[in-house]
């Protein structure tokens, strides 16, 4: 039994997957219809299934216009293969009238861009050559247009029935797409990309300069004139090669990353093992120290206990003897006191014996320290002094050595040492700058020097050279036993005339020794600095990029102060002030020293 257009409509709509069927309904609601037809109510379209949708189309528009409207909507949602099948089926059933009416309209409404090679084929094709609508659909043309091939080897083209042949021609992309769609369960094909600027034009070219797909009209436009344009298949093939190359590169990088991670894990495990070994080693060494100290403590305590016992025994023996002597004296004293109270006759009785005993009574034994006890106590004193000195030396040495590890950044700063010299042209007239420009002190008389714009005229200051506009810079200054000084850095543009206020806002980042063991930083407000070990040498480190200036007590290997979040926008220069004489206690110079040395050159 022959199928009607309604049957073909239903078959086509049932071919749509749910997502595409919803797109079809949405597009149908927004597609204009001929004036003589009324639009299907939106509510009915939204609730309709394929069977109901086919029935509504035929009921409202009639079979002829329902087919044409369905073809229009299918093309609008890029279901060109389904549109072609519906078109072919309706052609067979409706005859040449439908072909003449709709085929020409389709041809003039959706004619795609034609390449030069294809144009030559159309112009030069003899009129008796057959055209395959499937082949042309594969190139992006609408259903029913003329095939751009000189000839089509597809066996289905001659018969017009895709089901007529069980085989497919390898030369016909349309046949391949048709059979692939059938084998995939009639899933919707990939939509052909359309140009956003020139609607209904398929993007089959690729602009290498703009790296974007374009249509034929775009390629002829002013925007892409002179650009490298080639078929999208060639561009895709080339970019696939580039993708493959990048994939290989990225995979190598990933492999390298995995190797580095493995290497890093190995190093980390090695460091952990070293750390654990050091931990155990330190524990053993410290345990040995603890054990040795405990042994010495026991020996020392035992010696003290022994001396204590000896002293107790000697004391007890002496107490026994002295007690006997005192008891004898007490007895004689009692007898003599009793005699004093007797009458003359009784007093003179045995007077000679009592007086003799009183005169010859032994003197109480004097305390004498045994020589052995003296020697032992002397040895204990010597041990005690030795332990105290050794403990003090050990603690001081340990504290000093460990303090070096508390300021690891000092070693890093010293790696950026620069050769700083004094700029004599900036020195205050009373300052005496050494010939090598490494040392400065306050003189006793005013030197008559040229009063240039660079020279300080009111402040005991001299600047250093070079100036710094970037990078890291470190230098050290020997301050010795001076009682006052100023060290740091300042803007190169500071005024050299009149008084100055030391603060970062005015371009000064300095540390000041105001008097003996009194230090402060020129922050706002000023920061009092507590320094346990007075520095003999001061290190200054400028990190221009980070915006920080740090001061180090090189003597104690400790950080004195750090200015942070500084906004440097111009060159900086080292600044030095040896201070006033302070009654003759501060006449020594400030000396720029070689980093790592023990003193001036």
Distance CA 475, CA 471 (A): 14
pLDDT of residue 23: 87
DSSP state of 590: E
Tokens representing 368 are: 């004498």
Q: What average pLDDT does the segment 102-112 reach?
A: 40
DSSP-assigned letters across all residues of 453-489: TTS-SSSS-EEEES-BSSSEEEEEEE-TT-S-EEEEE
Confidence of residue 1 (pLDDT cuts 50, 70, 90): low
Q: Which of 10, 121, 137, 26 is nearest to 76 (CA)?
A: 26
Tokens of 76: 């609008």
Would you place residue 233 in the very low, low, confident or very high pLDDT band (cuts 50, 70, 90)? confident
Give the angle subtended at the CA of 44 by the CAs of 41 and 48, to the nearest 5°.
145
Q: Are 481 and 473 in contact (CB under 8 A)?
A: no
pLDDT band at 453 (very low <50, low <70, confident <90, very high): confident
**Cβ atoms of residues 537 and 478 within 8 Å:** yes
pLDDT higher than 70, residue 99: no
Mean pLDDT of 243-253: 93
Chain segment 130-186, per-residue pLDDT in tens: 434 444 434 444 333 333 333 344 544 444 444 444 444 455 545 554 554 444 444
> Count of CB atoms within 10 A of residue 179's CB?
13
pLDDT of 184:
44
**416 Cα distance to chain centroid:** 24
Note whether 75 and 18 are within 8 A (CB): no
H helical segments located in 188-231: 216-219
Q: Across the chain, what does the average pLDDT equal?
A: 80
10 Å CB burial of residue 242 (0-12, 13-18, 19+) is: exposed
Which of 183-187, 191-195, 211-215, 230-234 has the lowest average pLDDT? 183-187
pLDDT in tens, 293-350: 888 888 888 888 888 888 888 889 889 988 988 998 998 898 888 888 888 888 888 8
Q: Report whether 582 contacts 515 (CB < 8 A).
A: yes
pLDDT at 388 exceeding the cut of 50 = yes
Find which of 155-159, 401-405, 423-427 is predicted with most confidence, using mean pLDDT. Answer: 423-427
Q: Long-range contacts of range 84-89, CB-CB < 8 Å, 24 or more positions apart?
A: 84/133, 84/134, 84/137, 84/143, 85/12, 85/15, 85/162, 86/8, 86/9, 86/12, 87/143, 87/144, 88/133, 88/143, 88/160, 88/162, 89/3, 89/8, 89/11
pTM, to two decimals: 0.39
What integer pLDDT is reported at residue 34 of this predicted model?
86
Q: What percent of the chain has pLDDT over 90?
A: 33
Quick check: 598 pLDDT over 70? no
pLDDT score for 123:
33
Does 57 have pLDDT greater than 60? yes
How far apart (Å, rounded) are the C-alpha atoms in residues 204 and 188?
20
Integer Cα distance of 548 and 563 in angstroms? 5
| 388-392: average pLDDT | 86
Tokens at residue 502, please? 């030391």
Q: Is the pLDDT of residue 52 over 70?
A: yes
Most confident residue range from 147-156, 387-396, 510-519: 510-519
- Which pLDDT tens digit goes with each residue over 252-299? 999 999 999 999 999 999 999 998 998 999 899 889 988 888 888 888
Q: Which of 500, 496, 504, 486 lies closest to 551 in space, CA to CA?
A: 486
Q: Which of 579, 529, 586 is CA-nearest to residue 558?
A: 529
End-to-end CA distance of the chain: 117
For residue 190, give both structure tokens: 């990939």
- State the average pLDDT over residues 11-31: 88
- Longest Cα–Cα distance in the chain: 191
Residue 405: per-residue pLDDT: 60
Quick one: pLDDT at residue 2? Answer: 64
Residue 357 or 476, more confident: 476
Percent of the chain topping pLDDT 70: 80
Q: Give the mean model confidence (pLDDT) for residues 457-464.
A: 92
**Domains, the chain, with CATH or none:** 5-95 (1.10.533.10), 410-593 (2.60.120.920)
- 175 or 231, which is more confident: 231
- Burial label, 94 (beta-carbon count in 10 A; 0-12, 13-18, 19+): middle
Least trusted range by pLDDT, from 123-137, 369-383, 441-455: 123-137
Give the bridge partners for 472, in sequence order. 543
Q: Give the relative orientation of helices 371-405 and 232-340 as an angle to the nearest 10 degrees.
A: 160
The answer to whether 493 touches 569, Cβ cutoff 8 Å, is no
Q: Which residue has the higher pLDDT, 65 or 114?
A: 65
Could you tell me the pLDDT band of residue 426, with boundaries at 50, 70 and 90? very high
At 205 the pLDDT is 87
CA 398 to chain centre: 35
What's the pLDDT score for residue 224?
A: 87
Our CA dihedral for 74, 77, 82, 86, rounded to 10 degrees, sits at 10
Whether residue 187 is predicted with pLDDT greater than 50 in this model: the reply is no
Q: Helix (H) and strand (E) counts for the chain?
A: 17, 17
Q: Pick the closest to residue 327 from 288, 361, 292 (CA basis).
A: 361
Answer yes or no: are the C-beta atoms of 561 and 550 closer than 8 Å. yes
pLDDT at 509: 96
What value does the mean pLDDT take over residues 353-378? Answer: 86
Output the CA torsion sign for 168, 172, 175, 181.
Answer: positive
pLDDT at 46 over 80: yes
| Choice between 535 and 400, residue whose per-residue pLDDT is larger | 535
In terms of phi and psi (left: phi > 0; alpha: psi -120 to 50; beta: otherwise), the region of 480 is: left
């Amino acid at each position: 039994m022959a199928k009607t257009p309604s049957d073909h409509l239903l078959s086509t709509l049932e071919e749509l997957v749910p997502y595409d069927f919803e797109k079809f309904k949405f597009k149908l609601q927004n597609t204009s219809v001929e004036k003589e037809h009324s639009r299907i109510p939106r509510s009915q379209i939204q609730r309709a299934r394929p069977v109901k949708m086919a029935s509504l189309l035929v009921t409202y528009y009639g079979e002829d216009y329902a087919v044409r409207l369905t073809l229009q909507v299918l093309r609008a949602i890029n279901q060109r293969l389904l549109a072609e099948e519906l078109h072919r089926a309706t052609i067979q059933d409706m005859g040449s009238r439908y072909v003449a009416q709709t085929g020409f309209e389709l041809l003039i409404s959706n004619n795609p861009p034609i390449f030069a090679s294809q144009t030559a084929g159309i112009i030069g094709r003899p009129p008796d050559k057959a055209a395959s609508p499937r082949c042309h659909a594969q190139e992006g043309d609408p259903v029913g247009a003329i095939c751009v091939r000189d000839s089509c080897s597809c066996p289905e083209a001659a018969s017009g029935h895709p089901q007529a042949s069980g085989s497919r021609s390898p030369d016909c992309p349309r046949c391949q797409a048709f059979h692939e769609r059938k084998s995939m369960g009639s899933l919707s094909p990939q939509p052909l990309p359309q140009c956003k600027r020139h609607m209904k034009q398929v993007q089959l070219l690729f602009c290498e300069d703009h790296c974007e797909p374009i249509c034929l009209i775009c390629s002829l436009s002013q925007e892409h004139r002179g650009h490298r344009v080639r078929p999208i298949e060639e561009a895709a093939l080339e970019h696939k090669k580039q993708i493959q190359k990048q994939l290989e590169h990225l995979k190598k990088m990933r492999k390298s990353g995995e190797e580095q991670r493995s290497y890093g894990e190995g190093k980390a495990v090695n460091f952990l093992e070293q750390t654990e070994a050091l931990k155990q080693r330190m524990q053993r060494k410290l345990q040995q120290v603890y054990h040795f100290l405990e042994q010495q403590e026991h020996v020392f305590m035992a010696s003290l206990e022994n001396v204590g016992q000896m002293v107790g025994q000697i004391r007890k023996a002496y107490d026994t003897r002295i007690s006997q002597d005192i008891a004898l004296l007490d007895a004689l004293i009692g007898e003599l006191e009793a005699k004093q109270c007797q009458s003359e006759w009784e007093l003179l009785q045995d007077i000679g014996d009592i007086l003799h005993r009183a005169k010859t009574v032994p003197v109480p034994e004097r305390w004498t320290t045994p020589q052995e006890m003296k020697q032992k106590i002397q040895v204990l004193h010597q041990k005690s002094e030795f332990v105290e000195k050794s403990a003090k030396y050990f603690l001081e040495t340990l504290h000093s050595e460990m303090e070096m590890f508390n300021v690891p950044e000092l070693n890093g700063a010293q790696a950026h040492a620069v050769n700083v010299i004094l700029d004599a042209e900036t020195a205050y007239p009373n300052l005496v700058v050494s010939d090598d420009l490494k040392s400065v002190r306050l003189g006793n008389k005013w030197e008559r020097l040229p009063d240039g714009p660079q020279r300080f005229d009111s402040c005991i200051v001299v600047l250093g050279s070079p100036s710094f506009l970037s990078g890291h810079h470190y230098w050290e200054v020997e301050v010795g036993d001076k009682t006052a000084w100023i060290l740091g850095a300042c803007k190169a543009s500071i005024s050299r005339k009149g008084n100055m206020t030391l603060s970062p806002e005015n371009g000064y980042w300095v540390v000041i020794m105001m008097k003996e063991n009194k230090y402060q930083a020129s922050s706002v407000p000023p920061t009092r600095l507590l320094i346990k070990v007075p520095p003999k040498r001061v290190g200054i480190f400028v990190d221009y990029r980070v915006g920080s200036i740090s001061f180090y007590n090189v003597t104690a290997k400790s950080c004195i102060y750090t200015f942070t979040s500084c906004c440097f926008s111009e060159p900086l220069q080292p600044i030095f002030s040896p201070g006033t004489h302070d009654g003759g206690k501060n006449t020594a110079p400030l000396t720029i020293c070689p980093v790592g040395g023990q003193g001036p050159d």
